[in-house]
């Protein structure tokens, strides 16, 4: 009889069944006894429907008189509220009409034969199973282009560093989400979203946790730079009215009638439309009593700060530097010079801002404010290197500023979070994170940080192979995180892929049309990828470094506990199945370099297939041969399925992606333009099918549907930005 676990994990949640405690990302969530018992029952039968009658018997004694339907509905409502779940669009608990409920999220159950290592979050998702691939490909491309690569300088020497709590995605929608601002209680975030196909950008509000965003503004103008009032009543934002005019707008935070407050000489879209490095936000800041707004306007070709009355809309210029610029700041202005990145201290007595002379030279200043929110003395320079600065926020105690800055001098490519003490000579402290961050918001009450992460990701695109010139290519599975290495099920009805859209690299599945995505694994702080369906579609093989070393695992395609499949002291990656489903091929690398092996799924000794190096193997439709790439990816080879003579089939231009059809191989051996070609095995001829919208980078995957109607591939590029959430930020 299986032992009931004491702790169950799913998503960001941890359930201590013995203690009756629900925890979200380290923070206890209040949940009454009855809803918690309901959750425990559903977790015990995860993936299965628990009928309403079974719940009645488990939750209420036989002699208990109660309105069962009302009691169960109330308990379920409280449980969903605690989980941030929705009956209409469930992530955790699905309603089975007239039957009961089913827990549908994957559980992070223990993995057989595995002890999970506590390691830092990896620096890059292109890790061990692609490192040698990437290094060979990148090195060849750079040398071929006449470019010599030198590693960037390390982080600022001598700077103190503190670990930033692990960020998780708050938004992963297509397009750009940026410029976050917290509600006073810290449970909601307003932001600007430039949604593809729905321009111009608009202001949205989202609850922390799983929930859909609500669009707050509408119209034909671009709405940007939201700022939530400290009293919670309003959200101020900027609305573009033309090339040089921007309106300061107010709208109730719950939605309603908009009001134009004032107009600025400002081209807001030019400044803010994804160009955070030019003049970063925030360009609006509230006084602590919600009676005044600080904003930027253009005067003499530079930005200056004005105070705006919320009651009348009257503007007053803030003379931040007296009659001339002081403190050794260069007085020669250039484009996008002046004062921006506005932040009012929690007590309302100081205004922080960034002064720009020539990009990227920005320095942080703080000025004391009078009772009527005007400068009460000279602006004080906060000693921080002149460099890129892309956002600032006060800590709740008002003693420090958080600043997003590139202290490496790499043109804004390495924006990191720094804490700068205002009233002491302490050195700035770097808060380490793996995310490049830009503008930010810090809750004064909820210990939460939200920042914008501009991501160059990979999405899964689909193209119709039956059309001339590959017409109709477009995104099928997309977010602002990465989706790669797709694999069709044998019946063509589902797709497996790997993605970090949930905050960690995990295995996901979807319908063939890209809908109904479901996270299949939940290892947490590990990297999992390269999924492959078994021929009967009942299992999925994949690779993961959950133990600190890469191995192949197998998991039921309907969800369940992953089982470690490979052993040994080396690295095992990139699994694929034999056509009869009795073997799993994989690439094993140890002292002799990467070689292709196969191992029976029923158990037994592994067999080495290649002797001279190989990876990315696929068995032919008739099961006679295994087609594969050499480690450098520059040639397609084949070998008999049980080993033997290794033969080169086709030379390739560069590290390639390929997949097999019934009678040939589809492949791409160019990044951009990404030309799709087909090798007919019988004729030995190569045919160019067309150009895929690219770029198509190595190691992002290629898959063809069983009927060879559709081709899936990973399309790289800058797709947008997203908001990242840090809980328990102190």
Q: How confident is the model at residue 19 (pLDDT cuts 50, 70, 90)?
A: confident
Q: List the alpha helices (DSSP H) in 524-611.
A: none
User: Which of the two residues, 493 and 137, has the higher pLDDT score?
Assistant: 493
Q: For the chain, which domains are there?
A: 7-103 (1.10.10.10), 291-430 (2.120.10.30), 456-717 (2.120.10.30)
> Using one digit for the tens of pLDDT, what is the confidence trace for 664-717?
999 998 877 889 999 999 999 999 999 998 788 888 999 999 999 999 999 986
* Structural tokens at position 329: 């700041």
For the ranges 179-193, 396-410, 693-707, the lowest mean pLDDT is seen at: 396-410
CA dihedral 17, 19, 25, 26 (to 10 degrees): -160
pLDDT for res 160: 65
Predicted pLDDT of residue 416: 80
Which of 488, 505, 507 is closest to 497 using CA atoms?
Answer: 507
Contacts of 657 by beta carbon, 8 Å cutoff, 6+ apart = 667, 668, 696, 698, 699, 700, 701, 702, 713
pLDDT band per the 50, 70, 90 thresholds, residue 634: confident
Tens-place pLDDT, residues 313-351: 999 999 888 644 433 333 322 334 577 789 999 999 999
Whether this model's pTM surpasses 0.85: no
Is residue 414 predicted with pLDDT exceeding 60? no
Find out whether 531 and 117 touch, Cβ atoms under 8 Å.
Answer: no
Q: For residue 206, name the pLDDT band (cuts at 50, 70, 90).
A: very high
Q: Mean pLDDT highest for which of 55-69, 149-163, 198-212, 628-642? A: 628-642
Mean pLDDT of 211-231: 92
More confident position, 200 or 331? 200
**161's tokens:** 């560093």
- Greater model confidence, 614 or 549: 614
Residue with token string 């830092």: 120
Average confidence score pLDDT of the chain: 82
Residue 443: per-residue pLDDT: 94
The CA-atom distances, in angstroms, between 610 and each of 643, 645, 669 are: 6, 9, 23
Residue 390 is given by DSSP the state E
Q: What percent of the chain has pLDDT over 90?
A: 46
At 564 the three-state DSSP class reads strand
Q: What is the pLDDT of residue 280?
A: 66
| 60 compared with 442, residue with greater pLDDT | 442
pLDDT at 141: 28
pLDDT at 498: 95
pLDDT value, residue 387: 63
Among 2-16, 48-62, 494-508, which stretch is predicted with the lowest mean pLDDT?
2-16
Contacts 24+ apart (CB under 8 A), 599-605: 599/565, 599/566, 601/554
The two tokens of residue 158 are 């001598």
Three-class DSSP category at 129: helix
At 158, the pLDDT band (50, 70, 90 cuts) reads very low
Give pLDDT, residue 457. 73
In the DSSP assignment, the letter for residue 558 is: T
pLDDT tens string 574-621: 999 999 999 999 999 987 789 999 999 999 999 999 999 999 999 999
- According to the model, what pLDDT value does residue 321 have? 80
Decide if pLDDT at 485 tops 50: yes
């Amino acid at each position: 009889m299986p032992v009931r676990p004491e702790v169950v994990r799913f998503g960001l949640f941890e359930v201590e069944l013995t203690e009756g405690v629900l925890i979200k990302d380290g923070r206890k969530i209040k949940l009454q006894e009855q809803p918690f018992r309901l959750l425990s029952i559903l977790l015990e039968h995860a993936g299965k429907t628990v009928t309403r009658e079974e719940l009645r018997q488990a939750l209420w004694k036989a002699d208990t008189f109660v309105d069962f339907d009302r009691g169960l509905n109330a308990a379920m409502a409280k449980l969903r509220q605690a989980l941030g779940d929705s009956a209409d669009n469930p992530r955790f608990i699905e309603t089975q009409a007239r039957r009961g409920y089913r827990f549908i999220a994957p559980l992070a159950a223990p993995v057989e034969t595995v002890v999970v290592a506590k390691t830092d979050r990896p620096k890059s998702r292109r890790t061990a199973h692609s490192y040698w691939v990437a290094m060979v490909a990148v090195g060849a491309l750079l040398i071929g282009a006449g470019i010599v690569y030198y590693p960037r300088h390390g982080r600022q020497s001598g700077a103190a560093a503190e670990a930033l709590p692990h960020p998780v995605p708050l938004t992963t929608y297509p397009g750009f989400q940026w410029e976050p601002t917290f509600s006073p209680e810290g449970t909601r975030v307003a932001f600007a979203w430039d949604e593809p196909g729905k321009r111009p950008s608009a202001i949205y509000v989202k609850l922390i946790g799983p929930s859909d965003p609500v669009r707050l503004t509408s119209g034909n103008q671009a709405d940007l730079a939201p700022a939530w009032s400290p009293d919670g009543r309003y959200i101020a934002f900027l609305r573009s009215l033309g090339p040089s005019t921007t309106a300061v707008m107010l709208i109730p935070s719950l939605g309603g009638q908009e009001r134009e407050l004032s107009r600025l000489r400002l081209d807001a879209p030019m400044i803010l439309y994804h160009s955070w490095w030019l003049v970063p936000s925030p360009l609006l800041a509230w006084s602590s009593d919600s009676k005044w707004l600080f904003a930027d306007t253009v005067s003499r070709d530079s930005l200056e700060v004005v105070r705006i009355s919320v009651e009348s809309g009257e503007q007053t210029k803030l003379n931040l530097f007296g009659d001339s610029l002081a403190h050794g700041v260069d007085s020669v202005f250039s484009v996008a010079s002046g004062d921006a990145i506005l932040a009012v201290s929690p007590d309302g007595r100081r205004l922080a801002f960034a002064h720009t002379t020539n990009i990227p030279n920005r320095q942080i200043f703080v000025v004391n404010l009078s009772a009527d929110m005007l400068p009460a003395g000279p602006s004080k320079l906060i000693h921080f290197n002149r460099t890129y600065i892309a956002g600032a926020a006060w800590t709740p105690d008002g003693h420090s500023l958080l600043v997003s800055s590139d202290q490496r001098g790499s043109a804004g490519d390495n924006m990191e979070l720094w804490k700068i003490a205002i009233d002491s000579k302490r050195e700035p402290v770097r808060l380490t994170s793996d995310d490049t961050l830009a503008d930010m918001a810090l809750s004064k009450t909820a210990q939460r940080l939200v920042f914008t992460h501009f991501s160059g990701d990979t999405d899964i695109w689909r193209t119709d192979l039956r059309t001339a010139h590959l017409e109709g290519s477009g995104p099928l599975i997309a977010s602002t995180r990465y989706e790669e290495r797709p694999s069709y099920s044998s019946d063509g009805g589902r797709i497996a892929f790997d993605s970090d859209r949930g905050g960690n690299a995990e295995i996901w599945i979807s319908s063939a049309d890209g809908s109904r995505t479901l996270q299949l694994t939940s290892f947490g702080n590990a990297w999992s990828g390269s999924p492959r369906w078994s021929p009967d579609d009942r299992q999925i093989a994949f690779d993961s470094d959950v133990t600190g070393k890469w191995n192949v695992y197998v998991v039921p395609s309907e969800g369940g506990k992953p089982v470690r499949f490979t052993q040994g002291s080396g690295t095992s990656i990139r699994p694929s199945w034999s056509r009869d489903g009795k073997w799993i091929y994989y690439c094993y690398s140890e002292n002799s370099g990467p070689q292709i092996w196969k191992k029976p799924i029923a158990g037994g000794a592994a067999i080495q297939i290649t002797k001279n190096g190989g990876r990315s193997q696929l068995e032919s439709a008739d099961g006679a041969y295994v087609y594969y790439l050499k480690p450098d990816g520059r040639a397609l080879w084949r070998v008999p399925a049980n080993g033997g003579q290794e033969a080169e089939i086709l030379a390739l231009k560069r590290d390639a992606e390929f997949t097999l059809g019934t009678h040939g191989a589809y492949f791409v051996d160019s990044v951009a333009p990404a030309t799709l070609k087909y090798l007919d095995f019988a004729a030995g001829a190569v045919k160019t099918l067309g150009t895929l919208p690219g770029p198509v980078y190595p190691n992002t995957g290629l898959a063809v549907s069983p009927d060879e109607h559709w081709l899936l591939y990973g399309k790289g590029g800058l797709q947008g930005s997203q908001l990242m959430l840090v809980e328990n930020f102190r």
